[in-house]
């Protein structure tokens, strides 16, 4: 008996297994090595989605169905190792959402947390908790669990962003609730645009602020601010061998992840940077904001330029090579794993 080997079978044992299965029992010794593996064994595969291809398919979807009829007009990024399961990693969902000029994606809320990372367009809006935010390329926007949210596009251009949600995690817990807003397609706006960033995003908090829950009270982290931080910090030339210069998006109330189930990151790789090998138990979704490079993920080599998306499964070795100076946005379930005492990484 061992953790890695399955015991031999026999006619007698087979008869026993046939007897117990209909009674809803199973013999652990036949499945143990697949349940408790010495290292993570993921069904997820490394994959890269080309943005030009995705954009063309999204525009085609734009002719097929309206945002209103679809509720959300999104192309799900399906991990090739888990087709049809609406997962990009085992625990997370990602998709590319298109809102055409004049459209509204109607107001609803659900238990799942969502992040948006703006790929294309300028000036479309998302409203959360009575505040509307304007979305620009590279902005990272949060929809907290159970918060009403609707999207609109009053600009002249199509708006495309990447959605990242904890749908598979919530399904695993059987904890999904959802409802449509009954008061119209959009929620009433009760706070001025920029209010949450002013209140919570200036290294200040209202003096008697009491935390409302596990999610950051900031819901748009504008790219110009994140980029500026990277630009200032690069002068120190302290490049991490695995990550270049990598920052976490935080909840300013406690310094933890901006979202309770998803950890978002942004990193700068200087031109010519070649990372050391890295792996971690949090499968990670990357998209390039600027620049170009090559990432080797397991035995796959992905060339990427701005807006392409690629996924690194759990414990799969990854190296990045920036052929031009590059900025990568990424997200994973790291914060959830850390809270559960599961997260591990290995460098080199």
- Position 114 contacts ligand GTQ (CB under 6 A): yes
List, as one string, the DSSP characters of 74-123.
EEE---TTSTTS--SSSS-EEEEEEE-TT-EEEEEEESS-EEEEEEE-EE
The binding track of 263-302 with respect to ligand GTQ, each residue x by CB under 6 A or -, is ----------------------------------------
The binding track of 36-55 with respect to ligand GTQ, each residue x by CB under 6 A or -, is --------------------
Task: Name which of residues 71 to 90 contact ligand GTQ (CB under 6 A).
Answer: 72, 74
- Position 145 contacts ligand GTQ (CB under 6 A): no
- Residue 72 or residue 339: which is nearer to ligand GTQ going by CB? 72
- Position 163 contacts ligand GTQ (CB under 6 A): yes
Q: Which residue has the tokens 């979305």?
A: 135
Contacts of 69 (CB under 8 A, 6+ apart): none
- Residue 110 or residue 307: which is nearer to ligand GTQ going by CB? 110
- Residue 163 or residue 282: which is nearer to ligand GTQ going by CB? 163
- Residue 165 or residue 197: which is nearer to ligand GTQ going by CB? 165
Structure tokens at 108: 């609803």
Structure tokens at 64: 């097929």
Least spacing, CB of residue 334 vs ligand GTQ, in Å: 21
Backbone angles phi, psi at 34, to 5 degrees: -90, -20
Angle of CA points 133, 135, 137, to nearest 5°: 160
- Residue 143 or residue 196: which is nearer to ligand GTQ going by CB? 143
Q: What is the DSSP letter of 191?
A: B
Residues in the chain: 348
Contacts of 239 (CB under 8 A, 6+ apart): 245, 270, 273
Residues near ligand GTQ (CB under 6 A) are: 72, 74, 95, 97, 110, 114, 149, 163, 165
């Amino acid at each position: 008996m061992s953790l890695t080997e399955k015991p031999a079978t026999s006619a007698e044992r087979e008869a026993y297994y046939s007897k117990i299965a209909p009674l809803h029992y199973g013999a652990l010794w036949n499945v143990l090595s697949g349940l408790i593996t010495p290292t993570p064994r993921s069904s997820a595969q490394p994959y890269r989605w080309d943005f030009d291809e995705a954009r063309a398919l999204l525009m085609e979807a734009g002719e097929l169905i309206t945002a209103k009829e679809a509720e959300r007009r999104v192309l799900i990024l399906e991990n090739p190792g888990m087709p049809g399961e609406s997962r990009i990693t085992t625990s997370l969902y990602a998709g590319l959402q298109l809102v055409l000029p004049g459209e509204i994606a109607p107001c609803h809320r659900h238990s799942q947390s969502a992040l948006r990372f703006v790929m294309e367009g300028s000036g479309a809006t998302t409203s959360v908790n009575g505040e509307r935010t304007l979305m620009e390329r590279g902005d990272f926007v949060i929809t907290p669990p159970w918060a009403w949210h609707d999207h609109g596009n009053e600009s002249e251009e199509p708006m495309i962003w990447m959605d990242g949600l904890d749908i598979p995690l919530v399904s695993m817990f059987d904890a999904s609730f959802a409802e449509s807003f009954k008061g119209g397609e959009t929620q009433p706006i009760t706070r001025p645009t920029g209010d949450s960033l002013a209140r919570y995003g200036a290294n200040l908090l209202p003096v008697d602020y009491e935390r409302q829950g596990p999610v950051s009270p900031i819901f748009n982290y504008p790219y110009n601010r994140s980029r500026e931080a990277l630009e200032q910090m690069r002068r120190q030339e302290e490049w991490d061998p695995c990550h270049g210069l990598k920052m976490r998006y935080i909840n300013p109330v406690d310094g933890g992840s901006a979202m309770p189930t998803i950890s978002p990151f942004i990193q700068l790789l200087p031109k010519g940077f070649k990372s050391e090998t890295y792996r971690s138990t949090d499968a990670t979704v990357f998209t390039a904001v600027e620049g170009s490079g090559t990432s080797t993920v397991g035995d796959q080599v992905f060339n990427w330029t701005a807006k392409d998306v690629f996924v690194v499964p759990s414990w799969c070795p990854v190296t990045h090579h920036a052929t031009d100076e590059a900025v990568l946005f990424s997200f994973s379930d790291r914060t959830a794993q850390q809270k559960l005492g599961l997260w591990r990484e290995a460098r080199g």
